């Protein structure tokens, strides 16, 4: 029997999600993308065409959906109806679709790989994309800078908007209220109005898929479909479980009074999910807990599965353009992955979890590389230590060359500078003045530390070394000093799912 495979994928997802500067719209747009290629939505839209989930659905996950049909015409009719409905109900979204005949002489995995290649080829060959924007006389939406449409919001989008709050509640501890605006996260105008935008991406997922195909080792299409569904669902379940566990840790810290510095009103929760699509994760927090939340997520993910991931944390003011903050978080995540590949080249970084961050203090460059060109000492050395290693096999984690690069080392250092380590304390004013000496270079740094009797800070920055390199220790100190007013620690606790 001849069959045809069709793949569907939303194009430019981030551009659609972050088209608005309103958090509530970002969240709803993310839910739209999660819905439109879901099995339930497809079954609803294609009802009456002969489509049946148990017959036509191969699997849905990883940002795309794969279907099978008995004829090419059946595929065309279903795709045409689906995309027409999506474009009518959700203005501004774009979907790619590609169909190929299934080759019975090839293994199922090779047919699926060919389908993906053909989709990528189609995407790369698209020369232009036309959409009527504005005629210049319409009312402009201040949040999206687009023309305000005359027609009302579709019933489909209204339903998503109404249901989103109840879906969201399932990701947080009982009794808390998910926020709908950046200002509700808990920042204080007098002390802190930073938010943290966090992007997390799983490591080595392509390799994991290849290993999965090898594990199946079968030419039976139906068995392959069943295993694919299980595989896709397990990834989504594990990453969502890590998010819920992280939210449990935050909730425990709130309950125990550890986050009393946050200005939280009406049981608002200082953490908000935006994207949880397989291993692609984006969430926001009150700025002071952003890095710790990212690290807890990576730790929880690593505890109950063999997954590792990297995280990028963009710490920005509440009114900073959200799409730029997300783009920066993506670049930081990518940089963390590069660092992971460098310290674990044998598996291209797939066994390590790494976090990187940046704090926005004003104008920023167009790229992370441009931003960090300014982080140079008077001697021409790198002024910062980031990224930091969160989890890795013992042989990597304990390597002497990584002393000071482990997140645990950094966290102890920043807490020491904040005066939260009982054994030692340093004058906060002198610590903050050290930042200027670090920028000037090694000689001025050494003189400053000696004059203020703070030389032992070098050994605190690079533990387990009797005489640490000033430049290396200085970069760790710079990271901690830059962050010390924008960092709250989270205590890890019980009550998380395993």
pLDDT of residue 460: 93
pLDDT of residue 478: 97
Going along the chain from its start, the domains and CATH numbers come out as 4-123+148-164 (3.30.70), 170-486 (3.30.70.270)
Nearest-angstrom CA–CA distance, 201 and 310: 6
Residues of the chain with pLDDT under 50: 137, 495-498
Helix or strand run (H / E) with residue 28:
helix 23-36
Cα separation, 12 vs 15, in Å, equals 5
Using N-to-C axis directions, what is the helix angle for 221-255 and 205-216, rounded to 10°?
A: 140
pLDDT for the residue numbered 220: 86
* Spatial distance between the Cα atoms of 107 and 225, rounded to a whole number of angstroms: 12
Task: Give pLDDT tens digits for 176-207.
Answer: 999 988 889 987 766 668 999 999 999 988 88
What's the Cα-to-Cα distance from 18 to each of 11, 186, 319, 325, 467, rounded to whole Å?
A: 13, 22, 14, 10, 48
The pLDDT value given to residue 496: 47
Predicted confidence at residue 240, as pLDDT, reads: 93
pLDDT at 497: 45
Residue among 335, 378, 392 at smallest CA distance from 358: 335
CA distance 172 to 240: 11
Whole-model pTM over 0.85: yes
Q: In this predicted structure, what is the pLDDT of residue 186?
A: 83
Given the structure tokens 């992280």, which residue do they identify? 246
pLDDT of residue 86: 94
- Spatial distance between the Cα atoms of 459 and 461, rounded to a whole number of angstroms: 5
Distances (CA, A) of 487 to 291, 300, 388, 412, 418: 8, 20, 15, 12, 9
β-strand pairing of 57-61 with 388-391: unpaired
Question: Which pLDDT score is estimated for 498?
Answer: 38
State the pLDDT at residue 127: 52
φ, ψ of residue 5 in degrees (nearest 5): -105, 135
Residues 420-427: contacts with CB within 8 Å, 24+ apart?
420/489, 424/460, 426/454, 426/457
**Euclidean distance between CA atoms 384 and 473, whole angstroms:** 10
């Amino acid at each position: 029997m001849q069959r045809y495979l069709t793949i569907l994928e939303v194009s430019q997802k981030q551009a659609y999600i972050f088209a608005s500067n309103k958090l509530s719209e970002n969240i709803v747009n993310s839910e739209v993308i999660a819905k439109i290629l879901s099995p339930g939505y497809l079954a609803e839209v294609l009802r009456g065409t002969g489509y049946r989930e148990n017959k036509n659905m191969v699997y849905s996950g990883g940002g795309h959906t794969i279907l099978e049909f008995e004829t090419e015409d059946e595929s065309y009719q279903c795709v045409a109806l689906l995309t027409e409905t999506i474009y009518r109900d959700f203005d501004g979204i774009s979907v790619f679709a590609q169909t190929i005949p299934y080759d019975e002489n090839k293994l199922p995995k090779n047919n699926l790989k060919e389908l993906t290649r053909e989709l990528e080829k189609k995407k790369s060959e698209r020369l232009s994309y036309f959409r009527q924007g504005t005629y210049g006389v319409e009312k402009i939406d201040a949040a999206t800078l687009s023309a305000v449409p005359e027609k009302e919001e579709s019933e489909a989008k209204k339903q998503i908007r109404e249901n989103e709050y109840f879906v969201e509640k399932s990701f947080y501890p009982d009794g808390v209220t998910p926020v709908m605006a950046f200002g509700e996260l808990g920042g204080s105008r007098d002390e802190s109005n930073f938010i943290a935008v966090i992007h997390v991406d799983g490591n080595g997922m392509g390799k994991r898929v290849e290993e999965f195909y090898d594990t199946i080792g079968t030419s039976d299409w139906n068995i392959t479909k069943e295993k694919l569904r299980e595989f896709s669902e397990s990834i989504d379940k594990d990453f969502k479980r890590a998010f819920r566990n992280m939210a449990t840790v935050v909730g425990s810290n709130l309950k125990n009074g550890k986050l009393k510095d946050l200005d939280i009103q009406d049981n608002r929760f200082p953490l908000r999910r935006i994207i949880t699509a397989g291993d692609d994760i984006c969430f926001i927090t009150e700025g002071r807990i952003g890095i710790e939340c990212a690290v807890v997520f990576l730790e929880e993910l690593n505890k109950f599965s063999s997954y590792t991931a990297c995280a990028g944390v963009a710490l920005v003011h509440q009114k900073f353009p959200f799409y730029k903050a997300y783009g920066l978080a993506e670049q930081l995540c990518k940089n963390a992955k590069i660092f992971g590949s460098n310290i674990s080249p044998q598996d291209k970084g797939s066994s390590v979890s790494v976090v990187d961050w940046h704090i926005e203090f004003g104008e920023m460059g167009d790229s992370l590389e441009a931003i960090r060109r300014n982080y140079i000492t008077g001697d021409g050395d790198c002024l910062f230590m980031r990224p930091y290693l969160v989890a890795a096999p013992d042989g990597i984690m304990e390597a002497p060359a990584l002393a000071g690069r482990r997140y645990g080392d950094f966290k102890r250092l920043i807490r020491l500078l904040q005066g939260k380590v009982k054994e030692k304390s340093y004058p906060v004013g002198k610590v903050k003045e050290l930042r200027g000496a670090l920028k000037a270079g090694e000689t001025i740094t050494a003189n400053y530390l000696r004059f203020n009797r703070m030389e032992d800070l070098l050994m605190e920055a690079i533990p387990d070394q009797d005489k640490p390199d000033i430049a290396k220790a200085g970069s760790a100190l710079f990271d901690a000093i830059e962050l010390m007013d924008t960092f709250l620690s989270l205590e890890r606790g019980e009550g998380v799912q395993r």
